[in-house]
Amino acid sequence: MSEFNCEVSSLGECRITSPITGIQFVNEDEHVLYHSDLNEIESLLAEGRKPPLFEMAGPREKIFFDPSKLKCGIVTCGGLCPGINDVIRAIIMSLFYHYGVKTVFGFRYGYEGLSSKYRHTPMELTPDVVNGIHQMGGTILASSRGPQDIADMVDTLERMNIGILFTIGGDGTLRGAQAIADEAKRRGLKIAVIGVPKTIDNDISCIQQSFGFDTAVTESRPSLYAAHTEAVGARNGIGLVKLMGRESGFIAAFATLADSEVNFCMIPEVRFTLEVFLKDLRERLERRGHALILVGEGAGQDLMEKIHGRDASGNIRFGDIGIFLRDQINAYFGKAGIEVNLKYIDPSYTIRSMPANARDSAFCLLLGHNAVHAGMAGRTDMVIGFWKNEFTHLPISLAVSRRKKIEPNSRLWSNVLACTGQPREMF
């Protein structure tokens, strides 16, 4: 990762004095180190290479756009996630009250809202319109999945004289934003495209944490509590909970650490053996009389019959590991003549539709503010990152270069295993 390009694109020189007063500005030479290990930094320097640096996010003294003439747009794409409305509200409030921008459009139903084919009427967003939406789950702009014609979307932006487009979404949304920025650049248009990373799975590369993740872990606890209560309340009771996490098991891992009652945690990054798991589960029941199992949705896909096809975003359709494990557990103990009482809970859609908790709300506010500061300073083709507890500017190309995952040899996974006590031989 030492060779990656952290440079963020700009529309041009910033010559307009920012209207913001009474705030700490960020200097252009302020950066955040990618590496935290001193040995890695010294090794790079010894080789004559500069350690990777992220541009620090925040307000600049000089800005690119004239606020009195600027029009902006916001779009939300992909699945729901706690905090989307918080980000929308933060962007609107910053544009209006920090910079004096008075015209902001919300494009409905994701990138469909920028397509002439669907004829969705944009919402005009003002502080009055977004008042109170941070207390609601979902997105007031609605969402959709799937790509749209890039040239057609840029036509819409050009026709409406949009200077900054804020895109709130995950991997697919950011790739679309990158394509829009590329097309605008090809046409010579001064349109800034700023991404705000949205993924409940916390799986975007070079971003320490994405909004909604903290809420997802917090909201998983009632389901784990219920499953554990059901398990201890019955002879050979088993509680089985499935949480979101297609390719990255961060929600399952942190939910396990937050609720130390979990006895087995399975994540997509670490394959497990069904035979060994069932044997260990049987030993657990013989020893303790109950068990609590937590599984990420992308775990164990190699154990199931392959599911063909993709969704509108191009994601491979996964088999349901929760249902699979439920049936396998019941079949195994039934064949052994052992009665078990299994309760299966899948709270995924309940969790992702919840309003953001206090920590996520504060995080969303700062993400929205920093997105506005970046756009006003003429940055483009970038996403607002968060690294080493600092907000950063991150090229979209770097954010989508690979998916962030839990390393099986990491301290995080080691801590999960220490918490559950599950045997390493399962994996």
Catalytic positions: 201
Kindly provide the b/e burial profile for residues 60-94, where b requires at least 16 CB atoms within 10 angstroms of the residue's own CB: beebbbebeebbbbbbbbbbbbbbbbbbbbbbbbb
In order of 19, 93, 126, 340, 403, the CA distances from 166 in angstroms are 21, 14, 15, 51, 22
Alpha carbon distance 16, 12 (integer Å): 12
Question: What tokens were used for 212?
Answer: 């909604």
Task: Give the DSSP H/E element, type plus range, for residue 391.
Answer: strand 390-395
Which residue has 């809970």 as its token pair?
A: 345
Contacts (Cβ under 8 Å, ≥6 apart) of 358: none
Alpha carbon distance 373, 18 (integer Å): 10
Q: 192-197 and 164-169 as β-strands: parallel, antiparallel, unpaired?
A: parallel
DSSP at 261: T
Farthest CA pair distance, the chain = 78
Q: Hey, is 205 helix, strand or coil?
A: coil
Alpha carbons within 13 angstroms on the beta-carbon side of residue 190 total 12
In order of 74, 86, 149, the CA distances from 122 in angstroms are 10, 19, 18
Task: Give the DSSP H/E element, type plus range, for residue 181.
Answer: helix 171-186
Question: What tokens were used for 398?
Answer: 């770097």
Q: 53-56 and 103-107 as β-strands: parallel, antiparallel, unpaired?
A: unpaired
Identity of the residue numbered 126 = T
Question: What tokens were used for 369?
Answer: 């503010």
Which residue has 């918490």 as its token pair?
A: 419
Kindly provide the b/e burial profile for residues 251-276, where b requires at least 16 CB atoms within 10 angstroms of the residue's own CB: bbbbbbbebebbbbbbbbbbebebee
Q: Hey, is 389 helix, strand or coil?
A: coil
DSSP 158-178: HHTT-SEEEEEESHHHHHHHH
